[in-house]
């Protein structure tokens, strides 16, 4: 970002590693910032020679969007064109940038209904025509398939939702005070409601309210109980919805359109998941507005007929909210109404913001009346005291005066004052409409003063964080000493297997440049954990260990490398129980040119050795070939551009029924129903590798198809090698196995447990093109990744598992308080490489408990008797035997005994 001369920040789009945020879109759309294209973009976007000039006969469709929505859509289109690059001229982004930087323009003339209609209207807005300038297929495809209009309004909603959440909390807090409500119900009904809302967000709202209402003497009279008790549910649900739209919007804003060399796009639109997420968000906004309106109604009734009349005539009511949400629901159910769908949600947010302004004004008005009444009563009492010459009040009168005094919570007193300062008017009820108008504008994120207000509210909540019980982020875990002992044992077994096969250790950073990871994981790219911009580099936490390995081989220009790596990886997921956002993977990879299928065989063999030696139970290795899958899809009639996205659907067969997969392929991915049925029939095939291989070789369709024929030759060699190594009985040939990652090119496999344990434990395959994606020579590679967290879970819950948290062999027990003697004795044992620890304590039972709890096999005991005789007592905890030995021969005697004990 740079600063423009007019005090407006300039937001640059298209720089190396740059990403577009929702707030940047909001700032440009609202005229808070100017926009500029990074100087590197003009050199990346060449003027295309393959221009088209044909026009569709469509009539322009009037723009239904507001100026701010239109500007937001233009920002998104600008970014999509720049990050897509392929087949894009600099002309179109430059025209959009010029249009955005104009103070005013005839935005209603822009036609967002079609790709060519938009280009024509954009050119006309800037003094040209489509017949003169033409268009490229790349530009047309970005306009048709990027979803920039939906993403633009999504960004506006995403940027508004955090401030709306905090404003709604602050206003509801004032109502709690003004209605003298029973705040104790805020955390009761919501936590056991069973209504499906995220309990953490509901509890978080309750905790925030408790902090901000602390010290109030108004709350607690049970007035308006029902309207107060639903605050935690309604506001908690809104917080969760805001998080969901932020997650999906963050991905959509910076997703490019994949354009092939011939200018066409295979990108699949994301309208349906976007609409589904934002429909849920709209419902939570509706609930927020309805809840606020009901509380405002109670406040208006208490304020008298004049104020009540102003409220009824000026505030949007439940009927208006209901009409908007019904229209949103109707539009969500129809195809082709997505633009209006998002436009109406934006209107709904504005309506709710207006209702919140009414609630805030009425709550402040009510609290002002209470304080005014209190002051007048104080004056009356003071006047009466003077007239009657009353000098001293009784203790009872002082107590009653204290109880009658209006005392707001430590947070609400600040919130009320901040809002009053904004109003800058007196308490005349005739000014209520002006107050509402002022606060409604104040509650919009573009108001600079709002950010000061939001920061103050959040600071008041966070100052109480130190008193709360600390917690860890969801999808992560702390591991006890017993768990760590099991993990270390498992890692040791795994490393021994890897080293047995000649693999060398490698370590790579926990985070990589974002550009290193993007474009490698297909639909799973949305799960990559992005980090904040630090020092001009956009980084992401590593999603797996394979892509960093490929990057390393490319950087070092290696022609071959057999490596293993054990490290943590990260997924930006909303984890279910048993799934993690941070977890270990154990990888074994072979890169380089070798005999056909030799590395593939060895990787599968390594996997069988790992699972056998970890002794996890019965398992099978499902195996397939990407080229066989591609051939199968071609035989069934799937267009080549849809191979990867259909593979990602097939990959879900372990979680969903085949009918659900067919429905997804047809309804969401545009596949013909007959083609989906053919795929369904083939992916059911699984069985013995040699038997199913024989069956497929008899099918001419597979033999005549180039891809599947090559795959069958590879698999035939692999199965022979697995049979020679006596591990083919562990393998199942499964045509439904797809492995969703885009970088696989050959053999793919996945290990799963049988029976009640179920679930995937490891996976991998051949990826011959991944290393070459980093701009170097292609180096073929194949690898396997073991999901060790599942191994840990099974080992930790094995009743036959013998868990010992430490490897301590000897406990040096000094009865008394002679620390120097303990240090001297234990140092001798450490010097002899014996694993020992010491304890100095007067109570004998303390020593015995320590040895038993830690299952330490030997104790070296020194009490008064042993000390005077210059001896020590060696106790064998397993045999329950003990013996006195000379002090000088302790080390030799301990070593002898340890050699006889099986640890």
Nearest to 736 by CA among 786, 665, 679, 674: 679
CA dist., res. 849 & res. 633, Å (int): 66
783 has which bridge partners?
A: 589, 765
Contact 477, 435 (CB under 8 A): no
* DSSP codes joined into one string, 369-438: HHHHHHHHHHHHHHHHHHHTT-----HHHHHHHHHHS----TTHHHHHHHHHHHH-S-S-GGGHHHHHHH
Residue 728 DSSP label: G
- Residue 31 φ then ψ, to 5°: 75, 15
3-state class of 179 per DSSP? coil
Distance between the two ends of the chain, CA-based, in angstroms? 63
- CA 13 → CA 37, 71, 118, 463, 491, distances in Å? 5, 15, 21, 37, 46
- DSSP β-ladder status, 747-753 and 781-786: unpaired
For 246, residues 6+ apart whose C-beta sits below 8 A from its C-beta are: 22, 158, 161
The predicted-structure confidence for 489-534, as pLDDT tens digits, reads as follows 899 999 999 999 999 999 999 999 998 998 888 777 888 888 887 7
* CB hemisphere CA count around 462 (13 angstroms): 6
Please state, as a whole number, how many other Cβ atoms lie within 10 Å of the Cβ of residue 754.
10
- CA 770 → CA 513, 718, 725, 743, 784, distances in Å? 16, 22, 29, 6, 15
Give Cα 136 distance to the centre of its chain: 36
For 84, residues 6+ apart whose C-beta sits below 8 A from its C-beta are: 138, 142, 146, 256, 257, 258, 259
Please give, one letter per residue, the 3-state secondary structure of 19-68.
Answer: CCCHHHHHHHHCCCEEEEECHHHHHHCCCCCCCECCCCCCCCCCCCCCHH
Element (H, E) at 340: helix 338-387
CA dist., res. 332 & res. 328, Å (int): 6
Q: Quick one: 9 exposed, middle or buried, by C-beta within 10 A (0-12, 13-18, 19+)?
A: middle
Sheet containing strand 881-886, edge to edge, reads 836-841, 810-815, 858-862, 871-876, 881-886
Please state, as a whole number, how many other Cβ atoms lie within 10 Å of the Cβ of residue 550.
26
- CA 494 → CA 5, 90, 491, 588, 725, distances in Å? 61, 53, 5, 10, 20
- Residue 737 φ then ψ, to 5°: -75, 125
3-state class of 842 per DSSP? coil
Nearest to 84 by CA among 136, 127, 35, 129: 136
Contact 861, 837 (CB under 8 A): no
pLDDT of the residue at 137: 86
- What angle is formed at CA 410 by the lines to CA 405 and CA 414, rounded to 5 degrees? 100
Q: Quick one: 860 exposed, middle or buried, by C-beta within 10 A (0-12, 13-18, 19+)?
A: buried
Please state, as a whole number, how many other Cβ atoms lie within 10 Å of the Cβ of residue 154.
28
Look up residue 586 and give its two tokens.
Answer: 């154990």
Token look-up 């009414």 returns 358
pLDDT of the residue at 195: 38
Contact 251, 526 (CB under 8 A): yes
* CB hemisphere CA count around 609 (13 angstroms): 19
Helix axis angle for 231-253 and 148-178, nearest 10°, is: 160
Look up residue 8 and give its two tokens.
Answer: 């407006």
Look up residue 449 and give its two tokens.
Answer: 């003063």
CA dist., res. 844 & res. 846, Å (int): 5
pLDDT of the residue at 814: 95
505 has which bridge partners?
A: 564
Residue 440 DSSP label: H
Q: Quick one: 634 exposed, middle or buried, by C-beta within 10 A (0-12, 13-18, 19+)?
A: middle
pLDDT of the residue at 226: 61
Long-range contacts at 425-428 (CB < 8 A, ≥ 24 apart): 427/365, 427/368, 427/372
* CB hemisphere CA count around 368 (13 angstroms): 16
- CA 672 → CA 629, 643, 665, 679, distances in Å? 18, 14, 8, 11
Contact 25, 50 (CB under 8 A): no
Residue 668 DSSP label: I
Element (H, E) at 796: helix 788-796
3-state class of 619 per DSSP? strand
Helices (H) then strands (E): counts for the chain: 35, 19
Element (H, E) at 568: strand 561-570
Buried b (16+ CB within 10 A) or exposed e, 879-901: eeeeeebeeeebeebbeebeeee
Look up residue 599 and give its two tokens.
Answer: 């590395």
Please state, as a whole number, how many other Cβ atoms lie within 10 Å of the Cβ of residue 130.
20
Please state, as a whole number, how many other Cβ atoms lie within 10 Å of the Cβ of residue 5.
7
Contact 137, 112 (CB under 8 A): no
Residue 824 DSSP label: H
Contact 872, 814 (CB under 8 A): no
Sign of CA pseudo-dihedral 155, 159, 162, 163: negative
pLDDT of the residue at 749: 95
Token look-up 């002090």 returns 887
Mean pLDDT by 10-residue block, N- to C-terminus, for the chain (903 residues)? Answer: 63 81 92 89 72 69 84 92 86 92 87 87 90 87 86 92 93 89 57 46 84 82 59 90 89 78 56 86 94 92 87 91 92 78 93 94 89 70 52 48 69 89 67 87 90 89 65 84 86 95 95 89 82 82 94 94 95 75 94 94 96 89 92 87 81 79 85 85 88 89 89 94 94 86 87 77 92 89 89 73 81 94 94 95 93 92 93 92 93 90 57
pLDDT of the residue at 644: 77
CA dist., res. 596 & res. 707, Å (int): 16
Residue 664 DSSP label: I
For 712, residues 6+ apart whose C-beta sits below 8 A from its C-beta are: 628, 693, 696, 697, 702, 703
Contact 63, 109 (CB under 8 A): yes
Q: Quick one: 21 exposed, middle or buried, by C-beta within 10 A (0-12, 13-18, 19+)?
A: middle
């Amino acid at each position: 970002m740079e600063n423009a001369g007019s005090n407006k920040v300039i937001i640059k789009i298209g720089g190396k590693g740059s990403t577009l945020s929702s707030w940047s879109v909001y700032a440009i759309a609202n005229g808070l910032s100017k926009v500029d294209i990074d100087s590197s973009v003009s050199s990346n976007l060449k003027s295309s020679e393959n221009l088209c000039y044909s026009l569709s006969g469509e009539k322009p469709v009037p723009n239904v969007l507001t100026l701010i929505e239109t500007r937001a859509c233009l920002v998104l289109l600008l970014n999509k064109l720049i990050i897509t690059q392929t087949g894009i001229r600099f002309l179109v982004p430059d025209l959009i940038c010029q249009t955005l930087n104009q103070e005013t323009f005839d935005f209603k003339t822009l036609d967002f209904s079609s790709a060519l209609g938009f280009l024509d209207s954009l050119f006309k807005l800037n003094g040209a025509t489509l017949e003169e300038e033409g268009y490229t297929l790349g530009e047309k495809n970005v306009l048709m398939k990027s979803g920039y209009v939906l993403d633009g309004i999504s960004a506006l909603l995403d940027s508004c939702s955090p401030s709306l959440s905090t404003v709604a909390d602050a206003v509801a807090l004032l109502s709690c005070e003004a209605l003298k409500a029973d705040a104790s119900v805020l955390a009761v009904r919501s936590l056991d409601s069973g209504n499906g809302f995220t309990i953490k967000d509901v509890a978080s709202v309750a905790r925030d309210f408790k902090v901000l209402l602390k010290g109030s003497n108004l709350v607690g009279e049970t007035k308006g109980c029902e309207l107060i008790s639903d605050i935690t549910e309604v506001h908690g649900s809104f917080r969760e919805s805001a998080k969901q739209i932020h997650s999906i919007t963050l991905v959509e804003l910076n997703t490019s359109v994949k354009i092939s060399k011939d200018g066409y796009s295979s990108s699949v639109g994301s309208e349906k998941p976007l609409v589904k997420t934002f429909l849920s968000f709209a419902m939570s906004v509706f609930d927020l507005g309805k809840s606020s309106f009901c509380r405002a109604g109670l406040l208006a009734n208490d304020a008298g007929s004049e104020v009540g009349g102003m409220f009824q005539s000026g505030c949007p009511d439940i009927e208006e909210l209901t009409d908007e949400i019904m229209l949103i629901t109707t539009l969500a159910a129809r195809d082709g109404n997505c633009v209006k769908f998002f436009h109406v949600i934006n209107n709904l947010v504005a309506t709710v913001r207006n209702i919140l302004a009414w609630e805030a004004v009425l709550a402040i008005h009510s609290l002002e009346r209470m304080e005014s009444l209190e002051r007048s009563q104080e004056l009356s009492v003071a006047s009466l005291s003077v007239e009657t010459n009353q000098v001293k009040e009784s203790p009872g009168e002082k107590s009653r005066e204290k109880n009658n005094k209006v005392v707001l919570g430590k947070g609400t007193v600040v919130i009320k004052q901040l809002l009053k300062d904004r109003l800058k008017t007196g308490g005349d009820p005739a000014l209520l409409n002006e107050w509402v108008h002022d606060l409604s504008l104040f509650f919009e994120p573009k108001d600079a003063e709002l950010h000061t207000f939001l920061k103050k509210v959040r600071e008041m909540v966070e100052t109480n964080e130190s008193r709360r019980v600390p917690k860890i982020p969801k999808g992560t875990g702390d591991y006890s000493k017993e768990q760590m002992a099991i993990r270390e044992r498992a890692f040791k077994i795994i490393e021994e297997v890897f080293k047995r096969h000649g693999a060398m250790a490698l370590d790579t950073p926990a985070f990589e440049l974002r550009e290193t990871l993007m474009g490698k994981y297909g639909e799973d790219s949305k799960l990559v954990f992005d980090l904040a911009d630090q020092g001009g580099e956009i980084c992401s936490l590593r999603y797996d260990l394979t892509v960093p390995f490929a990057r390393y081989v490319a950087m070092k220009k290696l022609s071959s490398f057999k490596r293993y790596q054990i490290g943590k990886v990260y997924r930006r997921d909303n984890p279910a129980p048993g799934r993690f956002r941070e977890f270990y993977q154990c990888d074994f990879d072979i890169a380089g040119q070798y005999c056909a299928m030799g590395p593939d065989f060895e990787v599968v063999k390594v996997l069988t050795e790992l699972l056998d030696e970890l002794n996890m139970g019965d398992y099978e290795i499902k195996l397939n070939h990407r080229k066989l899958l591609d051939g199968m899809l071609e035989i069934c009639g799937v267009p080549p551009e849809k191979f990867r996205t259909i593979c990602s659907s097939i990959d879900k067969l372990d979680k969903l029924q085949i009918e659900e997969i067919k429905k997804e392929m047809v309804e969401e991915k545009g596949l013909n129903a007959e083609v989906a049925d053919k795929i369904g029939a083939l992916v059911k095939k699984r069985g013995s590798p040699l038997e199913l291989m024989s069956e497929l070789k008899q099918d001419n369709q597979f033999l005549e198809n180039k891809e599947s024929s090559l795959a069958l030759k590879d698999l035939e060699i692999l199965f022979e090698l697995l049979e020679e190594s006596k591990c083919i009985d562990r393998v199942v040939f499964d045509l439904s196995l797809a492995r969703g990652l885009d970088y696989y090119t050959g053999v793919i496999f996945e290990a799963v447990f049988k029976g009640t344990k179920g679930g995937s434990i490891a996976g991998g395959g051949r990826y011959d093109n991944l290393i070459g994606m980093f701009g170097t020579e292609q180096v073929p590679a194949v690898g396997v990744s073991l999901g060790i967290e599942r191994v840990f879970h099974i080992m930790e819950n094995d009743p036959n598992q013998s868990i010992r948290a430490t490897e301590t062999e000897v406990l040096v027990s000094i009865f008394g308080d002679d620390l120097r003697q303990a240090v001297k004795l234990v140092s001798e044992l450490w010097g002899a490489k014996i694993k020992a620890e010491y304890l100095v304590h007067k109570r004998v039972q303390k020593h015995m408990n320590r040895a038993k709890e830690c299952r330490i096999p030997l104790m070296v005991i020194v009490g008064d008797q042993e000390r005077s005789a210059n001896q020590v007592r060696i106790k064998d905890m397993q045999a329950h035997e003990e013996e006195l030995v000379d002090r000088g021969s302790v080390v030799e005697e301990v070593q002898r005994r340890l050699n006889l004990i099986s640890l």
